[in-house]
Amino acid sequence: MEDVYCFGGNPLDRASERRDDKDWIATQLDDPETRLLPLRDLKPFTRPSALPALDWQPVAPWRAQIDGGAPLIFLGLAEGRAHFAIDAAGADTPPDVDSELIDVRVLAPTIPQGEAAILAQARSLLDWHARHRFCAQCGSPTTMASAGWKRQCPQCRASHFPRTDPVVIMLAIRGEQALLGRNRRRPGGRFSCLAGFVEPGETPEEAVRREVHEESGVRCGRVRYLAAQPWPFPSSLMMGFLAEALTGEIVVDAEEIAEARWFTREEIRRMVARAAAGPDDPTQVSLPAPIAIAHHICRRWSSGLDEI
Ligand SMILES: [Zn+2]
């Protein structure tokens, strides 16, 4: 089995064959065992306690919002129980619901892995619906269909499906050194793997070589896939790679990267340990926390688990 990182490992049976069965969906919504996860402004309702947990609700208190047309998504089945997400934006919170809203980035590392994965699924889908209300083909307002897995245009009959944007994220390796960059948008000493979107007409391996060259001037040869991570901000699939660097000279793309440099394996091992232990120390170079696949790419290479 491959390694699974935060937002991976979704335990639900998505039961996609049920999505178009309106009677079956209605039956699930009448079932007192069914669980509903409300999100507002893409933040999940959580039970206020020392250990935060997703506030899964019964359907009944939300019936008025569902009947009023609040976006509702069938997420899947677990132990026979249907799980839904609802966009509670603008809806009145039912009076007996006592919840807090916590940002997904903050909440995800503190809840069980499977719950974080379901949250990623719900957040990405609700965000997609909020931003795709009009037909890309004819401009008419579209309606939700297939229990939240499609939008349909009543005018030109086009179907629109939720998008996932592929991103390559990679560590270029030169012997015992690896290339990390510091983003312009993030102040301080935070370095990370280079990354970028796969473009149309490009394989992931080609995107790795192009992005490393564009951002750092370094040419890469062999590229090896490691693992992937859903990243629901809003809807990316982070695909992690090691790349064999063929050149060492660095010429940064000043638009995106403030600084790129080669780090030794030992330096990266120490940065991984610090990032796993807690928040950044502004006086030291740092790496992303374990929520991000960049952390694990660096961890695995620096500890000798993966080689190019
Ligand atoms: Zn249309």
H-assigned helices in 44-92: 63-67
- Per-residue DSSP letter, 91: S
| 282 CA to centre of ligand 1 in angstroms | 51
Q: How do residues 173-196 score in pLDDT, each as one tens digit?
A: 999 999 999 998 877 899 999 999
Omega within 30 of 0 (cis) for the link into 44: no
- Quote the DSSP letter at residue 199: P
How far, in Å, is the centroid of ligand 1 from the Cα of 145?
Answer: 14
Nearest to 150 by CA among 139, 141, 159, 142: 159
At 106 the three-state DSSP class reads helix
Residues with CB under 5 A from ligand 1 (ion): 135, 137-138, 140, 153, 155-156, 158
Work out the pLDDT band at 94, boundaries 50, 70, 90.
confident
In the predicted structure, residue 96 carries a pLDDT above the cut 80: no
Q: Where do we find the tokens 């790349």? A: 243
Give the distance (Å) from ligand 1 centre to CA of residue 161.
Answer: 13
Q: How would residue 123 be classed by pLDDT, with cut points 50, 70 and 90?
A: very high
Rounded distance from Cα 136 to ligand 1 centre (Å):
7
Reported as a single tens digit per residue, the pLDDT across 26-60 is 999 999 999 999 999 999 999 877 788 899 999 99
Q: What percent of the chain has pLDDT over 70?
A: 98
Tell me, in angstroms, the distance from the centre of ligand 1 to residue 128's CA: 17
Which pTM was predicted?
0.94
pLDDT of residue 95: 67
Helix (H) or strand (E) holding 43: strand 43-47
How far is residue 165 from each of residues 4, 25, 81, 197, 238, measured CA to CA in Å?
A: 19, 29, 30, 7, 9
| Ligand 1 centroid – CA 151 distance (Å) | 10
What separation in Å is there between the alpha carbon of 134 and the centre of ligand 1? 8
C-alpha 142 to ligand 1 mean position (Å): 7
pLDDT exceeds cutoff 90 at 212: yes
pLDDT tens for each residue of 242-295: 999 999 999 998 888 999 999 999 999 999 999 999 887 878 899 999 999 999
More confident call, 307 vs 94: 307
C-alpha 18 – ligand 1 centre gap (Å):
25
The CA 141 to ligand 1 mean position distance, Å, reads 8
User: What is the C-alpha to C-alpha distance for residues 300 and 227, in angstroms, rounded to an integer?
Assistant: 11
Distance from residue 237's CA to the centre of ligand 1 (Å) = 28
CB proximity list for 133: less than 8 A, separation 6 or greater: 141, 142, 151
| pLDDT surpasses 70 at 76 | yes
